[in-house]
Chains A and B, each alone.
Chain A
Amino acid sequence: MDMINLTIDNRPVSVKRGTSVLHAAAQVGIKIPSLCYMKLEDLNIENKPGGCRVCVVEVEGRRNLAPACCTDVAEGMVIQTHSMRAIHARRTVVELILSDHPTDCLKCAKAGNCDLQSMAQHLGIREIHYEGEQSTFREDTSPAIIRELDKCIRCRRCEMMCNEIQSVGALSAINRGFNAVISPAFEMNLDHSVCTYCGQCVAVCPTGALTEVDHTGAVIRALSDPSKTVIVQTAPAVRAALGEEFGDEPGTLVTGKMAAALRRLGFNYVFDTDFAADLTILEEGTELLNRLTAFLGGDKNVKLPMLTSCCPAWVKFFEHQFPDLKDIPSSARSPQQMFGSIAKTYFADKIGVNRKDLVVVSIMPCVAKKYECSREEFSVNGNPDVDFALTTRELAQLINLANIDFKSLPDEDFDHPMGESTGAGVIFGTTGGVIEAAVRTAYEVFTGKKLDRLDYTELRGMEGLRHATIDFNGLPIHIGIAHGLGNARKLLEDIQQGKSHFHAIEIMSCPGGCIGGGGQPYHHGDAEILKKRQMALYREDSGKPIRKSHENPYITKLYEEFLGAPMSEKAHHLLHTEYFDRSKS
Chain B
Amino acid sequence: MPKIKLSQRTIEIVKEICLSFENNEGELINVLHEAQHKLGYLPAEVQELIAHELNMSIAKVYGVVTFYSFFNMLPQGEFPISVCMGTACYVRGAEQILHEIKRQLNIEVGQSTPDGKFSLNCLRCVGACGLAPVVMVGEKVYGRVAPQQIRKIIAEYQEGCVRPEKHEM
Q: Which residues of A contact B (CB under 8 A)?
A: 163, 168-176, 183-186, 188, 193-194
Closest residue on chain A to residue B57 by CB atoms: A169
A170–B61 CA distance with the chains assembled, in angstroms: 11
In the complex, which of the residues B56, B59, B67 contacts A184, with contact meaning CB atoms closer than 8 Å? B59
Render B67-84 as a binary contact track against A, CB cut-off 8 A, 1 for contact.
Answer: 101000000000000000
CA distance A183 to B60 in the complex (A): 10
Q: Among A176, A185, A194, which residue has its beta carbon within 8 angstroms of that of B62?
A: A185
Bound together, the chains give a CA A185 to CA B1 distance in angstroms of 11
A174–B62 CB distance below 8 A:
yes
A176 touching B59 by the CB < 8 A rule? no
- Tell me whether B44 is interfacial, beta carbon within 8 Å: yes
- B59: chain A residues at CB < 8 Å are 169-172, 174, 183-185, 193
**Closest A-chain residue to B44, C-beta based?**
A186
Q: Do A176 and B66 touch (CB < 8 A)?
A: yes
Across the interface, do B62 and A186 meet the contact criterion of CB distance under 8 Å? yes
- Enumerate chain A residues within 8 angstroms of B62, measured Cβ to Cβ: 172, 174, 185-186
Chain B residues in 8 Å Cβ range of A171: 59
Q: What chain A residues lie within 8 Å of B57 (beta carbons)?
A: 163, 168-170, 172, 185, 194
Contact of B1 among A174, A175, A176, A186 (CB under 8 A): A186
B44 cross-chain contacts in A, Cβ below 8 A: 185-186
Cβ contacts under 8 Å, B63 to chain A? 172-174
Given A172-B62, A176-B66, 9 more contacts at CB 8 Å? A169-B60, A172-B59, A172-B63, A173-B67, A174-B63, A185-B44, A185-B51, A186-B1, A193-B59
In the complex, what residues of B have CB within 8 A of residue A169's CB?
Answer: 56-60
The distance from the CB of A578 to the nearest CB of chain B, in whole angstroms, is 25
Choose from A163, A168, A175, A194 the contact partner of B66 (Cβ within 8 Å). Answer: A175
Residues of B within 8 A of A175 (CB): 66-67
Sample of 22 A–B contacts (CB below 8 Å): A163-B57, A163-B60, A169-B59, A169-B60, A170-B59, A172-B59, A172-B63, A174-B59, A174-B62, A174-B67, A175-B67, A176-B66, A176-B67, A185-B44, A185-B51, A185-B59, A185-B61, A186-B44, A186-B47, A193-B59, A194-B57, A194-B58
Let me know if A185 and B47 touch, CB within 8 A.
Answer: yes
Shortest beta-carbon distance, A323 to chain B, in Å? 13
Tell me, rounded to whole Å, the shortest Cβ–Cβ distance linking B47 to chain A: 7
Q: Which of chain B's residues have a CB closer than 8 A to the CB of A172?
A: 57, 59-60, 62-63
- What 0/1 readout, one digit per residue, does chain B (24-59) give for beta carbons within 8 Å of chain A? 000000000000000000001001100100001111
Smallest Cβ distance from B165 to chain A, in angstroms?
Answer: 28
Chain A facing B: main interface SS: loop
**Separation of A171 and B62 alpha carbons in the complex (Å):** 10
- A-B pairs with the 10 shortest C-beta distances? A169-B57, A172-B63, A172-B59, A185-B58, A185-B62, A185-B59, A174-B66, A172-B60, A175-B66, A174-B63
Residues from chain B with a CB closer than 8 A to the CB of A174 are 59, 62-63, 66-67
Q: Which of B56, B59, B63, B66 has the most CB of A within 10 A?
A: B59
- Distance in angstroms from A497 CB to nearest chain B CB is 14
Decide if the interface of chain B is mainly helix, strand, loop or mixed: helix
CB distance from A510 to the nearest CB of B (A): 20
CA gap between A46 and B128 in the complex, in Å:
46
B33 to chain A, nearest CB (A): 18
Q: In whole angstroms, how far apart are the Cα atoms of A176 and B124 in the complex?
A: 15
B60 — nearest CB in chain A belongs to which residue?
A172
CA distance A176 to B59 in the complex (A): 15
Distance of A176 Cα from B47 Cα, bound (Å): 18
A191 → B minimal CB distance (Å): 14
Closest A residue to B62 by CB, please name it. Answer: A185
The chain B residue sitting closest to A583, CB to CB, is: B52
Q: Which A residues touch B1, using CB under 8 A?
A: 186, 188
Q: How far is the CB of B61 from chain A (nearest CB, A)?
A: 7
Q: In the assembly, what is the distance between CA of A361 and CA of B57, in Å? A: 35
A residues near B51, Cβ cutoff 8 Å: 185
How distant is A187 from chain B, measured CB to nearest CB, in Å?
8
Query: In the bound complex, how far is the Cα of B47 from the Cα of A184, in angstroms?
Result: 13
Residue among B44, B48, B67 facing the most chain A CB atoms (10 A cut-off): B67
Bound complex: CA of A48 vs CA of B137, how far in Å?
A: 44
- Tell me, in angstroms, the Cα distance from A176 to B51 when the chains sit together: 20
CB neighbours of B56 from chain A (8 A)? 169
In whole Å, how far is B4's beta carbon from the nearest beta carbon of chain A?
Answer: 13
Residue of A nearest to B51 (CB): A185
Q: What's the Cα separation between A450 and B62 when bound, in Å?
A: 57
CB-based nearest B residue for A179: B66
B89 → chain A closest CB, angstroms: 22
Task: Report Cα–Cα, A406/B164, bound state, in Å.
Answer: 75
Q: A183 to B44, alpha carbons, bound, how many Å? A: 15
In the bound complex, CA of A176 to CA of B67 (Å): 5
Give the most central of A169, A170, A172, A193: most B CB within 10 Å: A172
Tell me which residues across on chain B come within 8 A of A188, comparing CB atoms: 1
Q: Which chain B residues lie closer than 8 Å to A185 at the CB level?
A: 44, 47-48, 51, 57-59, 61-62
Residue of A with least CB distance to B56: A169
Residues of A near B66 (CB, < 8 A) are: 174-176
Q: Among B47, B48, B51, B60, find the residue whose CB has the most chain A CB atoms closer than 10 A.
A: B60
Nearest B residue to A171, CB-CB: B59
**Residue in B1, B47, B58 with the greatest tally of chain A CB atoms within 10 Å:** B58
A188, B47: Cα distance in complex, Å: 14
Nearest-neighbour CB distance to chain B for A585, whole angstroms, equals: 11
Considering only CB atoms, which chain B residue lies closest to A180 in the complex? B67
Cβ distance B121 to chain A, nearest Cβ, rounded Å: 15
Smallest CB–CB gap between B41 and chain A, Å?
A: 14
Complex Cα distance, B44 from A193, in Å, reads: 13
Query: Which of the listed residues B44, B47, B61, B66 has the most CB atoms from chain A within 10 Å of its own CB?
Result: B66
A184 to B44, CA, bound (A): 13
> Closest Cβ of chain B: how far from A317's Cβ, in Å?
13
Q: From A176, which residue of chain B is reached at the shortest CB distance?
A: B67
User: How many Å lie between the Cα of A173 and that of B65 in the bound state?
Assistant: 11
CB distance from A157 to the nearest CB of B (A): 16
Q: Which residues of A have CB within 8 Å of B60?
A: 163, 169, 172
Distance to closest chain B CB from A177 (angstroms): 10
Cβ proximity bits B2-32 to A, threshold 8 Å, 1 near / 0 not: 0000000000000000000000000000000
A171 to B57, alpha carbons, bound, how many Å? 9
Residue on A nearest B68 in the bound complex, by CB: A176
